[in-house]
């Protein structure tokens, strides 16, 4: 445990020791200071501050700002009004509060009275900004947060350039794991070359407050990207899958031979890691500071999932598809001029039309009904579904190995794979070791090594493993153009941020769409 975390955990104990003494000197009920929650309510009475401030004192993150304010004001209320004394109370409350309550007998003189006095402009603005920061941090951290769709993986339900409101109350807001961070900045200071916007001196354990419900199938879920635990220090590559980048470079060191790479994976990965570290730099991130992704939940903890000829199969039964699924098609035009007609009729942009091949063939992302309409109405010469079997054997598909049946998996035919539920125990067969090794090590924090047929977890022989949390399977609606669980695997329950609620703003841009402009018809549209 770090010293900073220890000091943070000790702070409520400091309050329970010091506040009763201060309450007694101020003529309040002393024993209130010993009761968690009630002591803060009475503290606000001592300082003659609004009772609704109590809300800001109980939520990690914003409460650090609130505590700093109350520590300083407590010193002022007991006559500690010099600049040095205020700095001591604000920056070192472990010393200031103890000295004030135990080391001295300063009389209670009350909070500073501003009645009839005019505050300076600097003070007015600083107080306004401070309270706006506290309120906005509470809302952003525990109620809702804005999120922008950067990629086409969720088209056509969510479009590139959509600005979403994410409800953190839907599944219960996560208590911030890294409370010492710059407000309103997720993980990197703007224009700093990925310099962290947070300090890891204090990292709290995972906690989730009660919410309105649980994740359901086909919810549009915002989550922390599981493979974002490590990133390449490059603004262009920061949102990419580091583990995929590492694997690609490692295969390059193996001469492009996947078989040679798998034969000595540790050696080639070490070479690639050293190369990335030397050329760009590598950094790790805690769960709450991983990049935000949004996908649709298709599999729930405890289920068996597979994809058979594009259809989702859960526990052996085909389940209906959500509306708006897109797949890639090779579309051959009759005339080049027909492309403009097709774009206008189906509302396609440069994101949907991804490239031109020989013979007037275009690579298009379409719904199945759109592809059928193109042929039925004679708008094109030919429409052929994209064949993703070239992905087989490339190690692209999770669990990124050619062992067992994994080599035959692709985007349209995948699995079966079991999604562990919290408390579920599974045998550590060789196949399960391949599927769950990253889960056990990266998401549940255990050391795991395999020696021949023997498995050791935290140094002890193991033939089975009991999972500590539930795991989800998330995929994009644009099924052939989505980096999702088929590439990087499970989404742990502690990575779930919230549910995409509605689009509050939407705008196309010239670079991605081939045109620009506000999509007025998408304003305040619920996410289906």
Residue indicated by tokens 């709450």: 288
**Looking at residue 153, what is its pLDDT?**
77
Beta bridge partners of 425: 466
Domain-embedded: residue 502: yes
Domain-embedded: residue 195: yes
Of 423 and 181, more confident? 423
pLDDT tens, 171-226?
Answer: 999 998 888 888 888 888 888 888 999 988 888 889 999 999 999 999 999 999 99
pLDDT tier, 385 (very low <50, low <70, confident <90, very high otherwise) = very high
Domain-embedded: residue 450: no
Beta bridge partners of 295: 221
Q: Give the CATH number, domain containing residue 184.
A: 2.10.109.10
Burial of 157 (0-12, 13-18, 19+ CB in 10 A): buried
Q: Are residues 265 and 346 in the same domain?
A: no
pLDDT tier, 413 (very low <50, low <70, confident <90, very high otherwise) = very high
Q: Are residues 62 and 119 in the same domain?
A: yes
Domain-embedded: residue 357: yes
Residue finishing a domain among 364, 390, 416: 390
Of 72-81, 118-127, 164-173, 260-269, least confident by mean pLDDT is 118-127
State the average pLDDT over residues 229-241.
Answer: 89
Q: Are residues 193 and 116 in the same domain?
A: no
Does the pLDDT of residue 1 top 60, yes or no?
no
**Looking at residue 125, what is its pLDDT?**
82
For the chain, give percent helix, strand, coil, nearest 5: 40, 20, 40
- The most confident of the ranges 144-153, 191-200, 319-328, 356-365 is 319-328
Complete DSSP assignment for 402-426: -SGGGGG--SSSEEEEE-PPTT-EE
Does the pLDDT of residue 116 top 70, yes or no?
no
Q: Are residues 277 and 147 in the same domain?
A: yes
Does the pLDDT of residue 152 top 90, yes or no?
no
**How many whole angstroms separate alpha carbon 341 and alpha carbon 329?**
18
pLDDT tens, 40-84?
Answer: 999 999 999 888 889 888 888 888 889 999 999 999 999 998 989
Structural domain boundaries, residue 375: 318-390
Residue finishing a domain among 359, 390, 421: 390
Q: Are residues 61 and 161 in the same domain?
A: no
pTM of the model: 0.88
Q: Are residues 235 and 267 in the same domain?
A: yes
The DSSP 8-state label assigned to residue 204 in this structure reads P
State the average pLDDT over residues 332-358.
Answer: 85
The DSSP 8-state label assigned to residue 205 in this structure reads P
CA end-to-end span of the chain, whole Å? 43
Residue finishing a domain among 140, 166, 194: 140
Domain-embedded: residue 204: yes
**Looking at residue 217, what is its pLDDT?**
96
State the average pLDDT over residues 252-258.
Answer: 95
* HEC readout, 480-521: CCCCCHHHHCCEEHHHEEEEEEEEEEEEECHHHHCCCEECHH
Does the pLDDT of residue 124 top 80, yes or no?
no
Does the pLDDT of residue 428 top 60, yes or no?
yes
Domain-embedded: residue 440: no
CA angle at 477 for the pair 384 and 221, rounded to the nearest 5°:
170
3-state class (DSSP) for residue 309: coil
Of 259 and 519, more confident? 259
**Looking at residue 4, what is its pLDDT?**
67
Q: Are residues 350 and 377 in the same domain?
A: yes
Does the pLDDT of residue 359 top 80, yes or no?
no
Q: pLDDT > 90: what percent of the chain?
A: 61
State the average pLDDT over residues 239-261.
Answer: 94
**How many whole angstroms separate alpha carbon 504 and alpha carbon 164?**
6
Q: Are residues 277 and 215 in the same domain?
A: yes
Q: Give the CATH number, domain containing residue 331.
A: 3.30.70.80
Q: How many structural domains compose the chain?
A: 3
Q: Are residues 250 and 290 in the same domain?
A: yes
Q: Are residues 276 and 232 in the same domain?
A: yes
pLDDT tier, 132 (very low <50, low <70, confident <90, very high otherwise) = confident
Complete DSSP assignment for 246-269: HHHHHHHHTTT-HHHHHHTHHHHH
* HEC readout, 335-397: CCCHHHHHHHHHCCCCCCEEEEEHHHEEEEEEEHHHHHHHHHCCCCCEEEECCHHHHCCCCCC
Domain-embedded: residue 241: yes
pLDDT tens, 460-515?
Answer: 999 999 999 999 999 999 999 999 999 999 999 999 999 999 998 888 877 677 77
Q: Are residues 184 and 106 in the same domain?
A: no
**Which tokens in the block code for residue 100?**
């004030």
**Looking at residue 115, what is its pLDDT?**
66
Q: Are 200 and 286 in contact (CB under 8 A)?
A: yes
Q: What is the mean pLDDT of the chain?
A: 90
Q: Are residues 134 and 146 in the same domain?
A: no
**How many whole angstroms separate alpha carbon 512 and alpha carbon 515?**
8
Domain-embedded: residue 451: no
């Amino acid at each position: 445990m770090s010293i900073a975390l220890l000091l943070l955990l000790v702070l409520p104990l400091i309050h329970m020791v010091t506040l009763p003494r201060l309450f007694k000197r101020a003529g309040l009920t002393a024993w209130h200071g010993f009761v968690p929650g009630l002591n803060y309510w009475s503290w606000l009475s001592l300082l003659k501050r609004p009772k609704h401030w109590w809300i800001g004192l109980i939520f990690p993150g914003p409460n650090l700002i609130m505590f700093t304010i109350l520590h300083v004001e407590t010193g002022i209320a007991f006559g500690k009004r010099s600049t040095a004394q205020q700095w001591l109370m604000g920056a070192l409350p472990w010393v200031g509060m103890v000295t004030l309550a135990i080391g001295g007998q300063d009389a209670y003189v009350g909070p500073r009275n501003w009645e009839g006095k005019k505050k300076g402009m600097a003070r007015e603005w600083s107080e306004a900004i401070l309270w706006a920061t506290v309120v906005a941090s509470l809302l952003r951290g525990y109620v809702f947060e804005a999120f922008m769709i950067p990629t086409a993986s969720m088209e056509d339900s969510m479009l590139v350039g959509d600005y979403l409101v994410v409800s953190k109350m839907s599944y219960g807001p996560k208590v911030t794991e890294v409370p010492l961070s710059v407000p309103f900045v997720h993980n990197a200071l703007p224009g700093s070359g990925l310099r962290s916007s947070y300090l890891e001196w204090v990292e709290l354990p995972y906690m989730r407050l009660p919410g309105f419900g649980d994740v359901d199938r086909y919810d549009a879920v915002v989550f922390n990207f599981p493979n974002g635990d490590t990133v390449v220090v490059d603004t262009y590559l920061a949102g990419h899958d580091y583990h995929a980048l590492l694997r690609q470079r490692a295969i390059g060191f193996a001469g492009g031979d996947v078989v040679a790479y798998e034969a000595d994976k540790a050696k080639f990965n070490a070479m690639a890691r050293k190369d990335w570290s030397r050329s760009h730099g590598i950094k790790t991130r805690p769960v709450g500071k991983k990049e935000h992704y949004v996908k649709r939940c298709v599999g729930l903890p405890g289920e068996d999932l597979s994809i058979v000829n594009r259809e989702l199969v859960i526990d052996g039964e085909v389940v209906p598809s959500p509306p708006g699924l897109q797949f890639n098609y090779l579309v051959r035009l009759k005339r080049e001029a027909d492309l403009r007609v097709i774009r206008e009729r189906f509302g396609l942009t440069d994101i949907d039309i991804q490239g031109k091949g020989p013979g007037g063939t275009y690579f298009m992302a379409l719904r199945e009904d759109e592809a059928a309409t193109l042929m039925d109405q004679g708008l094109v010469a030919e429409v052929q579904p994209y064949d993703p079997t070239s992905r087989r054997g490339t190690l692209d598909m999770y669990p990124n190995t050619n062992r067992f049946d994994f080599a035959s998996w692709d985007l349209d035919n995948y699995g079966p794979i079991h999604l562990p539920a919290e408390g579920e125990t599974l045998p550590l067969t060789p196949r399960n070791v391949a599927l769950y090794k990253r889960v056990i090590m990266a998401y549940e924090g255990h050391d795991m090594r395999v020696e021949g047929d023997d498995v050791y977890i935290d140094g002890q022989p193991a033939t089975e493993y009991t999972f500590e949390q539930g795991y989800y399977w998330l995929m994009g609606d644009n099924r052939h153009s989505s980096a999702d669980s088929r590439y990087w695997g499970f989404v742990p329950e502690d990575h779930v941020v919230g549910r995409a609620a509605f689009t509050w703003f939407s705008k196309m841009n010239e670079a991605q769409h081939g045109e620009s402009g506000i999509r007025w018809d998408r304003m305040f549209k619920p996410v289906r």
